Amino acid sequence: MKLTQETTLFCPHSDAKPIAYALKALKRDMTAIFGNEPPTVDMQQPHQIRVAVVPSEREEAFTVRYEDDAVIIEGSDDLGAVFGIYYVCEHALGIDPYGFWTDFPVQPRAEIDLPEMAYTSPEPKVRFRGWFINDEDLLIGWHDEMEISLATWEIIYETILRTGFNMVIAGTGSKPMDAHLQLASDMGVWLTQHHAEPLGARYFSDAYPGIPARIPEELDRFVELYREAINLHRGRKIVWSLGYRGQGDSPFFRSDPRYATKEARGKAIGDMIQLQKNLVEEVTDTRQHFAHNVYSESAELYREGHLTLDDDIIRVWADNGFGAMRARREWNREPHVSSLPLASDQDRDSGVYYHVSFHDLQLASVHVPFVAPELIQDQYQQLFDAGNIRFLTLNVSNIRPHVFNIDFIGKLIRFPDEHFNGELSPVEQHYAAWAKKYFPGHEADIRDLIQGYHDAFFRYGPLPDEVAGEQVAQHGLRNAISAIVNGRNVLDSPFTFHYIPDPVETIEDCFNWLLAKTEPTLPKWTSLQAAAEVLEQKLDGYQAQFFTDNLRMQIDYMANSYQGLVYGLRGLLTYMNENYLDAFCLLSQSKWAMEAAWEAFTRTEHDKWINFFRGEWLTGTQETIRWLNTARSMAKIAADTRADHYWPAFPVHALGVYGQASIHTIIQAITDDDSLARALIAAKEGHILSPSTWLT
């Protein structure tokens, strides 16, 4: 069978919306390769791609056959046909399933020769495989309307299906009536919900502002919201999320002291879960799927037997946000409590909510990876050993920075035997396959850089997941500045440096602990930057651009963020000791490092990616730069107001001998703070710069 620009499409089921969307993508792919869109015809003929639904007992299964004069795609249902179409896109046409996010080039060709073969999809290792588009600040800010467009949602859902996932939590705070949820359903994607939004219902506080969300007093109102959501979701494929938390995703009993015992809390949550499940089953006549996130207070209550669940509810356990299957750290010390499925649940369906991106205001990373692939491999092996894993939601955040790990997990949970076999471990095979695809000929260099990147993070504890990501530098430095500006101990805030495992009491203790952890990593980051620069010189075309957009960006961003943290903490310590000149210089150097970190982001903004990092507010690199600018101005003002003369203190120091003859005139030409800082640093090193090089 040869595919050419003469190839036609035949699909008697093209009126099914999921298949229609997949055919649209297939046509787009073929147009990119052959130069014109393949026509859809209403009869079988030679040199054709034929798509059909052939019902079977297997859900979402498909077969693909390359025959002498046709490519035959048969799905057991609509989504099976969709997966078969995307199999052909990838394996016959050579389209990268992540191509929108990787910009992987499509190779124009006159024909593609397909030898005869037959493929039947195996049983997926995990039944429900979903993305959670969460903490999606970049995706939002990328759009001028500050809202993810339906066109972008369509790309996201298409990528989910191309890559073998089949489910989505479509954004933070989505409502059942939102158009992008209907679009997901039209494309064949299963819907599920965040643990704080049972059944996808509106928040009680949104629907009934000013009314305390208390049970049993407001039970009727909760039922009204639940029924509204169920009715709006009619006709959609859903794994219904069941649960009960307070408003703002916090335990309900924090604002209701009547539930003081674990027994009372467990019964209240269990009763609400049963109510939600009953409401769904009352209005549906087909089998429904249910899940409960065994998370936070629910995990403790379930483990101790205070919360009971029906056997057909999937127990969904969560990692700690850092890729380890342990209970999440809530601001302070690590609980070190396993979040693997219970041994007593071996015969029940279990699931996992897993992060490749995490936002915690302290240590995590949203915009660059920080979960090592080796840790992913280890944790997923433990998950599969511990329970019958039928459900996964993967927090993918803004997608583009995290393709490597998303791809790895996707292969582990769908058809792992097709990707991982032989003596090498799955992670070693993933390194090799990914680098061969995107950087052929440089596989070892890419593997070494990725491994070196993850090794360079400082560890705040002894476990492999206890790493300090981007937010330690950005939020950490802003928390430090805030404490000094407000004259308080940095530990007074609940979300600052309480993760420090060693005894600390003062600001100085915290800053010095962070410096002792961060500074030793700087040579590693410098070495990584040098190695990345060497490799970049060997690359050209697409490889060079993707390297800049991906691994080079990640290395440069973290290297400069860590360097900025070190300069910033040293500058603040110096400020506290009233050495304002050195504080001004160090805080300036911190600002410059953070500007270099920001430049690592903006270098990736080309073509369709213009403004992609405009909405980077969860970590807030530009906010850190603004705060540093203010902090160094405070040092300058402090020095000026304590001087024993009426002219600014820092220019006098920077001018040196040049300032003696005409200081009264020269101080009127005070330069900007960046140039002043460079002149001061030069003066400290014994080099007085000519005023003409830095004065305005």
Residues with Cβ within 8 Å of residue 253, at least 6 apart in sequence: 246, 259, 260, 265, 268, 297
Q: What is the pLDDT of residue 436?
A: 97
Per-residue pLDDT band at 196 (split at 50, 70, 90)? confident
Spell out the domain ranges in the chain.
Answer: 2-120, 128-424, 439-642, 646-696
> Higher-confidence residue: 600 or 205?
600
Q: Is pLDDT of 643 > 80?
A: no
Q: What single letter denotes the amino acid at residue 269?
A: I
Of the pLDDT bands very low, low, confident and very high (cuts 50, 70, 90), residue 454 is very high
Tens of pLDDT, residues 29-67: 999 999 999 999 999 999 999 999 999 999 999 999 999
**Residue 313 structure tokens:** 């509810």
Name the CATH superfamily housing domain 2-120: Chitobiase/beta-hexosaminidase domain 2-like (3.30.379.10)
pLDDT at res. 511: 95
Cis omega before residue 691 (within 30°)?
A: no
Q: Is 142 a residue whose pLDDT tops 90?
A: yes
pLDDT for the residue numbered 659: 47
The pLDDT score that the predictor gives to residue 645 is 57
H/E run at residue 638: helix 621-642
DSSP letters for 262-296: HHHHHHHHHHHHHHHHHHHHHS--S--EEEEEE-T
* Distance (Å, whole) CA 393 – CA 402: 15
- In the predicted structure, residue 479 carries a pLDDT above the cut 80: yes
Nearest 5°: the CA angle 170, 176, 182 is 65
Sign of the torsion angle spanned by Cα atoms 184, 189, 195, 200: positive
Give the chain's mean pLDDT. Answer: 93
Residue 263 scores a pLDDT above 80: yes
Q: What is the mean pLDDT of residues 380-389?
A: 94
Check residue 549 and report its DSSP letter.
I
Average the pLDDT over 654-662 and give the result. Answer: 57
Kindly report, residue by residue over 126-137, the tens digit of the pLDDT.
999 999 999 999
Who has greater pLDDT, 43 or 696? 43
Q: Please tell me the pTM assigned to this model.
A: 0.95
Between 494 and 686, residue with greater pLDDT: 686
Class level of CATH domain 128-424: alpha beta
Helix (H) or strand (E) holding 318: strand 313-318
pLDDT band of residue 294 (cuts 50, 70, 90) is very high
pLDDT at 389 over 90: yes
Identity at 597, one-letter amino acid code: A
Q: Which residue has the tokens 């490749």?
A: 356
